[in-house]
Structure 1
């Protein structure tokens, strides 16, 4: 689990940090949160769905076909798709809210990327000699702030879809190597039937809300589920080619497990 700490001169002026060498930290993320600003690019290579969190819908990138599985992270930590969700591009940094509603920049102390002492090699300082954030830190804060600023608008678009009953459960059927079909549940999608039967005045209201790009991007993106299936088969084939452990316990059952995905 991440262990985020607020970045302050008192705690980090004498420390440095290294950029993440890959995306292994996301290897168990079945979904990743998205904001509307990035969805037109994300939908070109990632399946986009909706997840229900705290009684509101939010768009997410679908990255695996079983809980705890991210097929878009290679064994060496490389990202295997043409788009990387913004939530990962800021790691090991993240934003948090203080009790007095201030936004603060945090660093994951469990990332293995925090170093004691001055910056060396590819590591970078947090603060300069005057205890001011260095330029790179300001850039990261600006990027994460832009993503966070787009969150209310994204929530409003999803609320507009919900208001017009355009979101329906999306049960994803997966056929295993044995020919058996399992179903992943817990995701949602735009209902094409509801969209096509929407009254003219409701469609006009939806258009004016700015939600139509989200509708079409989500529908377009569903074709990319086939790529996840191909990645799952390739992963299984590579695992079968590996030598068995002494106990012979190379377990690939998670690729064919059903049940409900739980999102945290």
Structure 2
């Protein structure tokens, strides 16, 4: 469970932070919202879907086929494909929003990466300003937040144009077939029948690129399915291993005098 707090000198000046050494903290994240600047790279490695978020629409990486499941992170914390969504790359930092809807640099105090002493980096320098490393993280997160807003605007335009439709994905589980809800895709036919004026506006605004990136990314769904199958097989093997009862072992003491005459009687 996370504990997101705004970074402040009063609360964090005496503390230190450590960099993550694996992506295990993403293991229960099935959907990762994206920023406009990363859509092209993400589409080559991950299936992307349109999702409703905070009253609007955005494009997100689909990381799992069940709630609380990320199939792209291995048990040792390694990421198994070539692209990691930017939302994960500044952990344990993130952007929050104050009451005036202004971005704030925040920290996850439950990350296990905040320490009181010992190894780690300081949040603030001797003058009380953000340290150089934290300034770098803050700049990255603020630019990412701006890019997320750009993408949300593009997705809103696609939605308003009627070219986004539900994406029916059905998976087979232990209890039969199950349809994944909440994911949407581009209706390519509707996109191609937009009039020239609307298509031209979308092309100039970069919106068409978002649409085609989502269509391209759908080919990665097969990889996600393979990862799901491999995960299910590994978990089944572990369960079977746990259910195997140990064989009755004879005592190692070879001095015991067995009475063979009574065997079988």
**CA displacement, residues 2-26 of structure 1 (integer Å, 9 cap, x when unaligned):** 1112222222221111112211221
2:161 and 2:142 mapped to 1: Cα distance? 30
Give the corresponding residue for 2:178: 182
Give the corresponding residue for 2:130: 133
2:148 to 146, 151, 173: 151
The 3-state SS of whatever aligns with 2:149 is helix
**CA displacement, residues 4-55 of structure 1 (integer Å, 9 cap, x when unaligned):** 1222222222111111221122111111000111100000000010001244
1:231 and 1:72 mapped to 2: Cα distance? 8
User: Residues 7 and 106 of structure 2 are in contact (CA less than 8 Å); yes or no, is this contact kept in structure 1?
Assistant: yes
Residues 92, 153 of structure 1: alpha-carbon distance in 2 compared, 3 angstrom cutoff: same
The 3-state SS of whatever aligns with 2:199 is helix
User: Residues 57 and 159 of structure 1 are in contact (CA less than 8 Å); yes or no, is this contact kept in structure 2?
Assistant: yes
Give the corresponding residue for 2:168: 171
What is the total number of aligned residue pairs between the two structures?
244
Q: What RMSD, in angstroms, separates the aligned Cα atoms of the two structures?
A: 2.0
User: Residues 199 and 208 of structure 2 are in contact (CA less than 8 Å); yes or no, is this contact kept in structure 1?
Assistant: no
CA displacement at 1:200 relative to structure 2 = 2.3
**CA displacement, residues 77-122 of structure 1 (integer Å, 9 cap, x when unaligned):** 11112111111101100112233454321111111111102x52xx
1:172 and 1:129 mapped to 2: Cα distance? 54
CA displacement at 1:215 relative to structure 2 = 0.9
Give the corresponding residue for 1:49: 49
Give the corresponding residue for 1:30: 30
CA displacement at 1:177 relative to structure 2 = 8.3
1:84 and 1:242 mapped to 2: Cα distance? 28
Larger Rg: 2
Q: 1:2-81 residue pairs with structure 2 within 5 A? A: 2-81=2-81
Q: Normalising by structure 2, what TM-score? A: 0.85
CA displacement at 1:246 relative to structure 2 = 5.8
1:208 to 201, 204, 207: 204
1:55 and 1:17 mapped to 2: Cα distance? 34
The 3-state SS of whatever aligns with 1:43 is helix
Give the corresponding residue for 1:260: none
Q: 1:169-248 residue pairs with structure 2 within 5 A? A: 169-175=166-172, 181-242=177-238, 244=240
Q: Which runs of 5+ in 1 are unaligned?
A: 249-264
The 3-state SS of whatever aligns with 1:206 is helix
2:153 and 2:159 mapped to 1: Cα distance? 10
The 3-state SS of whatever aligns with 1:82 is coil
The 3-state SS of whatever aligns with 2:168 is strand
Residues 103, 176 of structure 1: alpha-carbon distance in 2 compared, 3 angstrom cutoff: closer
Give the corresponding residue for 1:259: none
User: Residues 30 and 69 of structure 2 are in contact (CA less than 8 Å); yes or no, is this contact kept in structure 1?
Assistant: yes
CA displacement at 1:240 relative to structure 2 = 2.7
Q: Normalising by structure 1, what TM-score? A: 0.86
1:189 and 1:61 mapped to 2: Cα distance? 12
User: Residues 63 and 72 of structure 1 are in contact (CA less than 8 Å); yes or no, is this contact kept in structure 2?
Assistant: yes
